[in-house]
Each structure stands twice: as structure tokens, then as C-alpha cells.
Amino acid sequence: MAWEIVVGVETHAQLRTRSKMFSGASTAFGAAPNTQACAVDIALPGVLPVVNSAAVAHALRFGLAVGAAINRRSVFARKNYFYPDLPKGYQISQYEIPIVAGGALKIVLPTGEKTVRLTRAHLEEDAGKSLHEDFQGMTGIDLNRAGTPLLEIVTEPDLRGAKEAVAYARTLHALLRWIGVCDGNMQEGSFRCDANVSVRKAGDDQLGTRCEIKNLNSFLFMEQAIEFEARRQIEVLEGGGRIAQETRLYDADRGETRSMRSKEDAHDYRYFPDPDLLPLVISDEMLAQARASLPELPEARRGKLVASYGLSPVQADLLTQSIETSSYAIAAFEGAPQARWPDMANWICGPLSAKLNESNLDIGASRVAAAELRRLAQKVEDGTLSGKMVKEVLDAVWAGEGGVDEVIGKRGLQQISDAGAIGEIVDEVLANNAKQVEDYRGGKDKAFNSLVGQVMKATQGRANPAQVNEILKAKLLR
Ligand code: ADP
Ligand code: MG
């Protein structure tokens, strides 16, 4: 009987603010250890936290972007636990009443669109960091992260398997960057996911017991961790065992999850409203400002790319991974032959994005301007270039050899579309390959491809492939 894998994801997104959630200390990454935690961040006696209004504005923008309800009055609570990176003994979070409730995110899968329901999103502060390297058997503590503003975003257990969970995480990551609330830098810990994984027999309506895999900071690790964990659970269950609800860690070097601790229940944390903080009240004005500051959202732009530009949902999804990429694409499409839009989308997602990655550049700094991509499309449309030549021209423009026209001129890249010229070359190839001609006429279709190859070779790949096919066929029939 088939197993179904069920995943719910909790994401910690660091909000893009200059100062901490409740203090004026800097959030800049990379400072010397323990130089950016002030008295408020470590709750020394006599200090009072003050809510960072920029963090609240970001939370509102996110809530509106996912169509959630905004709680006009939310409450900060203390989550009490001991850990070396939390010397104050509690984390300020939101518990019973979060700022954002519900909402949904649409993700694009190879099989179509899927709506993932969100449970909530709440504001909280980050803890410090334990450092295990460089301390010879001891642990170092860096409190710079203490008090850093986070938005924790929780899904319903709507995801089925590792691929869907990763598609969700990518879509969320793109949205947060798109609306400017999180820089999304995963190496620096600005976007971390916990995956809750359980399995059940297909058709069961009860959820299985889940394990929570903490702190996945790459999409690849997330996929591997969920896949490993689901397989582990299935093996346990098929062996007649039971799943213990627990918190696990993914060891990327060994490709496996390991038990970290048994799962604590909410009551273990002794949540209570933080007596130092008043309830957070959202005014009409704050809400209106948040709404006015939102750009067109990725989902709307995706829809436009499909409806107005004829792209597939998967292409549109790739182009809306960032606001800059989608704007570049639309700028390039405008004035380009409509029939070439899907090709252009592929050039952006394929060779161009490979070049950008290689040089670690954002698309805004692309060495192939949107106008050059448009020119490329025009040159394919008017038959000057074959699809095969596109990459060569793109690479040459990238390398600084000039614009599309200049590169075509300098490299003599004209496609040969002259039927007479192609016909002559075909005649020559047929004369020199009597054996293949005979094979083809004797029913060996493969011989045809070999003949096409010969013609392409003789023209250094410049012959119009459709014409080559047509002319070859006609001549072979005789
Ligand atoms: P906690 O805050 O203790 O981690 P929650 O009940 O708030 O627990 O759930 C956290 C996440 O776990 C949510 O994303 C939820 O969808 C997911 N989840 C809950 N039950 C299951 C389950 N049986 N299988 C997979 N995911 C689950
Ligand atoms: Mg959890």
C-alpha cells in the first residue's frame, strides 16, 4: 500500500530593519562577536523593550500580501526556556494572538497550481548563537543575533512530499524578497525553515505522528532531509514500530536526520503575556500605509505573463523568482515579436541566468541589456539566426564583443536561408554519401539524420534546419 508524506513548514524570516526588534542595537551581519547585543537584548535588570515599528510594518505587508487577516490587537508573550544562547531565559514572541492570522500562498508545481494554507505569522526576536568551532572542547556564545526581528510563518500540514515543500519554501522566499521585508540571505541565516514531517497510508484521514527537522538553511538540504526522514518513518512503521514525536537535526555530511530531543509541548514553555510590553495595536493609518507600499505581487505578475505573454505557468514562475527578473523580461518582450516571447523566457532562464550566476551578478547588472535580448528575438524571427546560434550570440554580447547586430556582422553568423545555396550543398553531400542515400532509400530512416548532420557540418551549422530537412527530403525522393 502506498504511503503519503505530509509536511508542514515553519519559516523564520529575518525582517529587514536596521535595529533590533525591541532595542536600538544594530542588526548588521558580520560584526565581531558580542559587540551588537545591548542591555535590552539580554534583558539586564531595569531595561524596557520598545517595539520596532519597521518590523511591524513588514509583518503587515506580508499579511496583506498573502491575503491574511491582520489582528488589530496582538500580544507579545514570553516563551520561557533555558539554553546557553538565551541567557535571559525567555524569548519574546507572540503566542495566543499573532499579528497575522491565516492567509494562503499559491505555488506552481509541474502538475499545476496548488494553494498552501497559512496558519499564522507572528513577530518574535531571535536568540544568540553557539559557536562550536575554534574553542577546543568548549562552546563560544555570540549574542549579536539576540533580539534580531523575525517573522515566523507557519503553514497548515498541506504539503505532500519534499518537492512540494521546497516549492513552497522557494515561493515564500521569493515573495519576502519581492515585497522587501527580508533579504533572503540563507548563508547568513536570514531565512531558515523547520520541516514537520509525518507519513500515513494513502487514503487515511488522520495525520501520522510528526517529527520536526530544525533549521534547514538551504533548499537542497530541505529536500534531502524530508526525503530521508519520510523513508526512515516508513521503515519504522513497516517494521511494526511507532514514531516518537521528536525534534531532529539534519546532518548534511551524512545525509541523515538525527534525534535531538523529544518534542516539548507548548505548556513546557510557560507562555505568559510579556508584562513589559503593551498589546500591539494597529491603526488604520499603519494598515493603509502598508497596503499602499506593496508593489504588484508575484502571483498577479505570473498571471499576466501567462495571459498576456503566452508563457507556460512554469516559465512564468521562474521569471517571477524576483521582481527584477520579471521586470527585465517584460522590458525585453515589449516590441519583440510575440511568437518569440516563450523563447526569450527560455533564454533568460537558461543561458542568461547561467551567465549571471557565473559572475555572481543580479539581472539589473546584466551585460546583455533587455534591448539586446529583444534584438536577438527579432533576428531569430526574421530568419537571420537559427535557434542554435542564439547562445553563441548571447555569449559574445555578454563577453563585450558588441551588440547583437555587431556580433552577427563580425562573426559572419548569417543563417543560410537561400534555397538555391542550400540545394547546392545538399547535392554535394548526396554525391559524397552514396551509401547513406542507398540506406535511406532502402528504409533506414536513421541515415536521414546523418545526411542532415553532413549538411549542417558543411555550413558550420549556419543552414536553416527546417529548409535543410525539406530540401533533403525532396531530393531523396527522386
Ligand atoms: P509547534 O509549534 O509545537 O511546532 P504546531 O502544532 O504549531 O506545533 O505545528 C507546527 C507545524 O507542524 C505546522 O506547520 C503544522 O502544519 C505542522 N504539523 C502539525 N501536525 C503535523 C503532522 N501530523 N504532520 C506533518 N506536519 C504537521
Ligand atoms: Mg515548531
Res. 220: pLDDT tops 90: yes
In sequence order, which residues have a C-beta less than 8 Å from that of residue 124 and are 6 or more positions away?
21, 79, 91, 92, 93, 94, 150, 151, 152
Nearest alpha carbon to residue 304 among 286, 325, 326:
326
Asked if residue 198 has its Cβ within 6 Å of ligand 1, the reply is yes
- 392 shares its domain with 424: no
Separation between Cα atoms, residue 191 and residue 45, nearest integer Å: 31
User: How confident is the model at residue 106, as a pLDDT?
Assistant: 97
User: How confident is the model at residue 413, as a pLDDT?
Assistant: 81
- 282 shares its domain with 301: no
Query: Which residues keep their CB under 5 angstroms from ion ligand 2?
Result: 10
Indicate the pLDDT class of residue 264, thresholds 50, 70 and 90.
confident
Nearest alpha carbon to residue 92 among 104, 79, 81, 102:
79
Asked if residue 161 has its Cβ within 6 Å of ligand 1, the reply is no
CA of 198 to the centre of ligand 1 (A): 10
Q: Is the dihedral of CA 264, 270, 273, 274 positive or negative?
A: negative
In the chain, what percentage of residues exceed pLDDT 70?
Answer: 100
- 108 shares its domain with 156: yes
Asked if residue 207 has its Cβ within 6 Å of ligand 1, the reply is yes
- 77 shares its domain with 209: yes
Question: What's phi and psi for 136, nearest 5 deg?
Answer: 35, 75
Residue 251's DSSP bridge partners are 256
* For residues 90-103, average pLDDT: 98
Q: What is the pLDDT of residues 108-127, one digit of tens each?
A: 999 999 999 999 999 999 99
Length of the chain: 478
Separation between Cα atoms, residue 444 and residue 153, nearest integer Å: 61
Res. 148: pLDDT tops 90: yes
Indicate the pLDDT class of residue 417, thresholds 50, 70 and 90.
confident
User: How confident is the model at residue 136, as a pLDDT?
Assistant: 86
Element housing 258 (H / E): strand 256-262
Q: What is the pLDDT of residues 278-315, one digit of tens each?
A: 999 999 999 999 999 999 999 999 999 999 999 999 99
Q: Is 461 left (phi over 0), alpha (psi -120 to 50) or beta?
A: left
Indicate the pLDDT class of residue 204, thresholds 50, 70 and 90.
very high
CB 454 within 8 A of CB 429: yes
User: What CATH number is attached to the domain comprising 432?
Assistant: 1.10.10.410
Res. 1: pLDDT tops 80: no
Residue where a domain terminates, one of 289, 306, 331: 289
- 92 shares its domain with 124: yes
User: How confident is the model at residue 386, as a pLDDT?
Assistant: 83
User: How confident is the model at residue 359, as a pLDDT?
Assistant: 95
User: How confident is the model at residue 384, as a pLDDT?
Assistant: 86
Number of structural domains the chain divides into: 3
* For residues 227-250, average pLDDT: 96
CB 198 within 8 A of CB 207: yes
User: How confident is the model at residue 419, as a pLDDT?
Assistant: 87
- 99 shares its domain with 57: yes
Atom number of ligand 1 nearest to Cα 156 = 16
Q: Which residues of 228-239 are buried (b: 16+ CB within 10 A; e: fewer)?
A: bbbebbeeebee
Res. 265: pLDDT tops 80: no
Asked if residue 156 has its Cβ within 6 Å of ligand 1, the reply is yes
User: How confident is the model at residue 258, as a pLDDT?
Assistant: 94
Q: How far is CA 228 from the centre of its chain?
A: 21
Report which of residues 367 and 383 the model is more confident about.
367
Res. 205: pLDDT tops 80: yes
Neighbours of 14 (CB within 10 A): 25
Determine which residue's CA is closest to atom 5 belonging to ligand 1. Answer: 154
User: Where in the sequence is the domain holding 135, given as residue range(s)?
Assistant: 3-289
User: How confident is the model at residue 246, as a pLDDT?
Assistant: 94
Res. 31: pLDDT tops 90: yes
Indicate the pLDDT class of residue 229, thresholds 50, 70 and 90.
very high
User: How confident is the model at residue 103, as a pLDDT?
Assistant: 98
- 224 shares its domain with 335: no
- 87 shares its domain with 207: yes
User: How confident is the model at residue 477, as a pLDDT?
Assistant: 82
CA of 112 to the centre of ligand 1 (A): 25
C-alpha cell at 96: 495566543
- 452 shares its domain with 352: no
User: How confident is the model at residue 466, as a pLDDT?
Assistant: 86
Residue where a domain terminates, one of 360, 389, 411: 411
Asked if residue 210 has its Cβ within 6 Å of ligand 1, the reply is yes
Ligand at shortest distance from the CA of 265: 1
CA of 41 to the centre of ligand 1 (A): 29
Angle at 53 between CA 49 and CA 55, to 5 degrees: 95
Nearest alpha carbon to residue 15 among 162, 149, 128, 141:
149
Separation between Cα atoms, residue 114 and residue 111, nearest integer Å: 9
- 197 shares its domain with 259: yes
User: How confident is the model at residue 442, as a pLDDT?
Assistant: 87
Q: SS3 for 451? A: helix
Strand 69-70 relative to strand 100-101, pairing = antiparallel
Quote the mean pLDDT of the chain. 94
- 318 shares its domain with 238: no
CA of 147 to the centre of ligand 2 (A): 19
Q: What is the pLDDT of residues 427-463, one digit of tens each?
A: 999 999 999 899 998 888 889 999 999 998 888 778 8
Indicate the pLDDT class of residue 165, thresholds 50, 70 and 90.
very high
CB 216 within 8 A of CB 186: no
In the chain, what percentage of residues exceed pLDDT 90?
Answer: 85
Separation between Cα atoms, residue 194 and residue 7, nearest integer Å: 10
User: How confident is the model at residue 65, as a pLDDT?
Assistant: 98
Dihedral Cα 223, 234, 207, 106, nearest 10 deg:
20
Residue where a domain terminates, one of 289, 311, 327: 289
Mutation to probe ligand 1, out of 154, 243, 260, 262 (largest number of atoms < 8 A from CB): 154
- 303 shares its domain with 248: no
